[in-house]
Amino acid sequence: MQYRPNITKAEEAKQIIVADAALTIAFSLALAGGIFGKLGGFLALLPIAFIAVTLSFVLHELMHKFTAQHYGAIAAFQTSTMGLLITLGTSLFGFLFGIPGATVIYTNSFTVRQNGITSLAGPLTNFAVFAVFFIIFLFTIPGSYINLTASLVMFISILLAFFNMLPIMPLDGSKVLHWNKRVYYASLGIIFALMSVAYYSLFKSLTGMITEIIFMLFIAIFFSMFYRNVL
C-alpha cells in the first residue's frame, strides 16, 4: 500500500523555492564568515550561491523524485521547519549544516536495486553539474567573476554529493552501499577526485580539504542521530 503525501504540485514548488532560498542565503553567509563577515562579501556571493544551490541541490532532489516516479513510487519534495532553522542558524556562525528539506518517497514495492539507483541519481546529477562548470572554469579568465562562479558551483555541487554519499542513514550513500558495494566505492572515489579539483580551483591548495571532510563526517553523524530521534 502506498501513502500519498498531502502536498499539491503548487505547494511542492513553493517548498522547493523556500528551501532553495534558505540554502542560498545560508551558503552565502557561511562563505562570507557568518554574522562576523563583511556584508559586501555576503551580497556578492548571493547570486553565485543561488546558481550553485539551484543546480546542485534542487536538481539533485528532483532527480531523486523523477527516478522514484520512474519506478512507480510517489515522491515529493518537502521542507523541514527544523531543518530550515538549523540551516540558517548554523550559517550565522560561519559554517553550514544544510538540511532544509528532502525528497520523500512513498512506496512499499522498491527493490534494493531500485532504492539504490534512486539514491544514486542525486549524486550523479552533481557529477553532471560539476562537469559542465569545470569546462566553463577551464575556458574562462582565471580570477574573473565567471571563473569564480564556476569554481564555486563545482565546489558546492561536489560537497553536496560527498555529504549525501556518506554511508550513514538516511543519506543516499547508505542505500547505495546496501545495493552495490562496487558502485558505492567507485562513486566515492570519483567524488574524492573531483573534490580535490574543486577545492584546489577555489582555494589554490588542498591543505584544508581533510579538515573539511572530517567536519562533514561529524555533521553527517549528528544528522543521523537527529534523524533517528525525530522519527
- State the catalytic residues: 61
**Could you count the other beta carbons within 10 Å of the beta carbon of residue 109?**
10
Residue owning grid cell 550553485: 52
Helix axes 172-179, 181-203, angle to 10 degrees: 140
Residue owning grid cell 515522491: 75
Of 177, 3, 58, which is closest to residue 66 (Cα–Cα)? 58
With beta carbons less than 8 A apart as the criterion, state whether 104 and 16 touch.
no
Helices (H), the chain: 9-31, 39-53, 59-70, 81-91, 112-138, 145-164, 172-179, 181-203, 209-230
Of 95, 104, 97, 99, which is closest to residue 84 (Cα–Cα)? 99
Collapse the DSSP code of 162 into the 3-class scheme (helix H, G, I; strand E, B; otherwise coil) and give the result. helix
Collapse the DSSP code of 76 into the 3-class scheme (helix H, G, I; strand E, B; otherwise coil) and give the result. strand
Residue owning grid cell 521542507: 79
Of 223, 164, 215, which is closest to residue 191 (Cα–Cα)? 164
